[in-house]
Each structure stands twice: as C-alpha cells, then as structure tokens.
Amino acid sequence: MTTLPIFSPLDARVLGVLIEKEKTVPDAYPLSVNTLTLGCNQKTARDPVMSVSESEVLEAIDRLKEYSLIIESSGGRVMRYAHNARRAFKLPEQSVALLAVLMLRGPQTAGELRTNCDRLHPFGDISSVDAFLEELAGAQPPWVVKLPKLPGSREHRWTHLLCGAVDIETFKTTSGATHQHTASEEVTALQADVARLSEEVTTLRSIVEKIRAELGI
C-alpha cells in the first residue's frame, strides 16, 4: 500500500477488532456483524470506549472494503467478516499486531504494547517492539509516530497514523489535561476506598466490643 488510508475512528476500531478476534476467539472467527459490534463496544481494553450500532459497523465495513481489508463470507444465515490487513498493508504479523493494539487502545509505550500484544503476537522483549515501531515510523509514508513525553512520564508513547496526522501541540494539551484528570480521579477513588475501609473497621470493632461485653470478657 503506497499511500495510507485515512480511516474514521470507527473504521480503525472495526479493523482492530477483526485483527484481535482472529487470535483471541478463533472458534468464532470470522465474525458476524453482531459479534463485531459487541467487540467495538467493549468497555475493557478499548480507548476510547464507543457505543455504535450494527448499521454503523456495516457502513465501516463497506469503507474498509474499498482498501481490500475485508474478507466477506456466508456462515449459516448470516454474513461473516474477517480482515485482510497483512496482505493489503504488506506488513509482517508483528507490525499488524502493533497497529491493531494502537487502534484499539490508543497511544501506548513500547512496554504497554508488548504486554497488550501478547495474545496477538508475543514479543520476546521490549527492544523487538521498539525495532518494529521504528520500522513502521520510518516507512514512507509512516504508519506510526512517537509522541512527546507527558509531564512526569519516563517513556514516550506511540500512536498510529491511520486516522490522519497527529497535531502534536493539541495532543500535548489534551493528553496533559487527561493525565491530570485521571490522576485526580485515582486519588479520589483511593480516598473513597480508605474511607470505606475505615468505616468497616469501625463497624467490626463495635461488633467485637459488643460480643466481648456479652461474654463478659
């Protein structure tokens, strides 16, 4: 593929799910549109979380067909769909796995990608992940880009370019705000857990004292 396609976020999500489910649920693959939609709307291992309809997924499938990325087949009374990314993109399995996880989970460090790719393609170490990322970034045109470090972060994150170029300045602003917001939410959640545990300890102490009083201990 000499030029990169420009996907919508849903196009990227549909393709990412098809690549993922080929490895994680091989017995159910190729996927029906219902199963594919459920995969797009998962609440876990997805960033951002989406809520899309089957008709929207079918529209995305039609767009992906234009790039020869979809293999359609009939299974029983429903149509089933598989991806053709390795052949259409002319990329090795390792690179396709990395792109899929980036499409599904958003920007990630090489370490996060190694962990999250494990079921799609197990990388031996982070250096091998870095090597494939650098190869993807050095392609013409590039498939991925290394992002600036966020405040307080020790590692760079990577993102794919299948949905178009990344505005680095906008990314730094929005990601920094998101990072601060997430950290604040985590602190609030921890404070709530501490308060709940403290209340439970107080209740347990009260019960123990009551039992001791009844037993005359």
User: Do 156 and 187 belong together in one domain?
Assistant: no
Q: What is the model's pLDDT at position 1?
A: 64
C-alpha 213/C-alpha 217 separation (Å) is 6
Whether residues 58 and 121 share a domain: the answer is yes
CB 80, CB 32: distance < 8 Å: yes
The letter for the amino acid at 100 is A
Last residue of a domain, one of 136, 160, 184: 160
Which residues lie below 8 Å from residue 5, measured CB to CB, with a gap of 6+?
A: 67, 162
Q: How many domains, in total, are found in the chain?
A: 2
Question: Per the domain annotation, does 186 fall within a domain?
Answer: yes
Give pLDDT tens digits for 65-114. 999 999 999 877 899 999 999 999 999 999 999 999 999 999 999 999 99
Tens of pLDDT along 166-200? 877 655 555 555 455 555 555 555 666 666 676 66
Task: Answer yes or no: is 3 within a domain.
Answer: no
Q: Are residues 148 and 199 in the same domain?
A: no
CATH number for the domain harbouring residue 139: 1.10.10.10
In a domain, 204, yes or no: yes
pLDDT in tens, 7-28: 999 999 999 999 999 999 999 9
Q: Are 209 and 151 in the same domain? A: no
Are 122 and 145 within one domain? yes
Q: What is this structure's pTM? A: 0.78
* Residue where a domain terminates, one of 112, 134, 160: 160
Chain-wide mean pLDDT for the chain? 88
Instruction: Please list, residue by residue across 108-118, b when 16 or more beta carbons sit within 10 angstroms of its beta carbon and e when fewer do.
Output: bbbebbbebbe
Question: Do 73 and 112 lie in a common domain?
Answer: yes
List the domain range (segments joined by +) for residue 52: 9-160
